[in-house]
Amino acid sequence: MREGNRTINDVLHAVAARFELTREQVVSERAPVPFRARRIALHLACRVTQRSFPQIGAAFGGVSSTNVLFAKRKIERDMIKDAELAAEVEGIKASLLTK
């Protein structure tokens, strides 16, 4: 379910700030970025933007829509098991939705 009307750029900046990365590091497949940061950004892009999976994937450097869906579902599953992760993702999401 979509919960906002933020841009992918908003998501990238929020996740980059939280993990002390650059926007480019979050988007780049080659940069040594924790998978978790990139997956959180993909998950949030699915939740708080009105963009399709292919549009989100394109903004992340050509990630396939299948991989966008995988990242979204992976974070959702991990949030059920990991309260710290859930709080972190929900905190970033809340900051995005209150802008």
Q: What is the mean pLDDT of the chain?
A: 91
- Please list the residues that pair with 49 across neighbouring strands: 6
- Domain segments of the chain: what residues? 8-97
- With CA atoms as reference, report the closest residue to 39 among 99, 88, 2: 88
First to last CA, the chain: 19
Residue with tokens 């980059």: 16
CATH number of 8-97: 1.10.1750.10
Rounded distance between C-alpha atoms, residue 56 and residue 51, angstroms: 6
What percentage of the chain carries pLDDT values higher than 70? Answer: 93
> Over 90: is that where the pLDDT of 2 sits?
no
- Per-residue pLDDT band at 25 (split at 50, 70, 90): confident
Provide the whole-model pTM.
0.91
Residues 32, 45, 78, 67, CA torsion sign: negative
What pLDDT, on the 0 to 100 scale, is given for residue 33?
Answer: 63
Q: Which two tokens stand for residue 48?
A: 């708080």
Structure tokens at 97: 């939705």
Tell me the per-residue pLDDT of 60-73, one tens digit each, with 9 for 90 and over: 989 999 999 999 99
Using CA atoms of 74, 77, 82, 86 in order, give the dihedral in degrees to the nearest 10: 80
Give mean pLDDT, residues 35-40: 90
Report pLDDT digits (tens) over 71-88. 999 999 999 999 999 999
Over range 44-60, report the average pLDDT. Answer: 95
